[in-house]
Amino acid sequence: MSLKKVALIVFLILLVDQVLKVYIKTNFYLRESIQVFGLDWFQIFFVENQGAAWGVELPGKYGKITLSLFRLIIAPVIGYYLYKSAVNNAPKLLVIALSLVFAGAVGNIIDSLIYGSIFSESTTSQIATFMPDGGGYADPLFGKVVDMLYFPFIQDAMWPEWVPFLGGKTFTFFNAIFNIADMAISTGVGILLVFNKRVFPQDEKDNKVVA
Known catalytic residues? Answer: 147, 182
108 closest CA partner among 81, 66, 78, 75? 75
Closest C-alpha to 152, from 35, 9, 55: 35
- Selection from 13, 5, 205 nearest residue 108 by Cα: 13
Cα gap 25→147, rounded to integer Å: 9
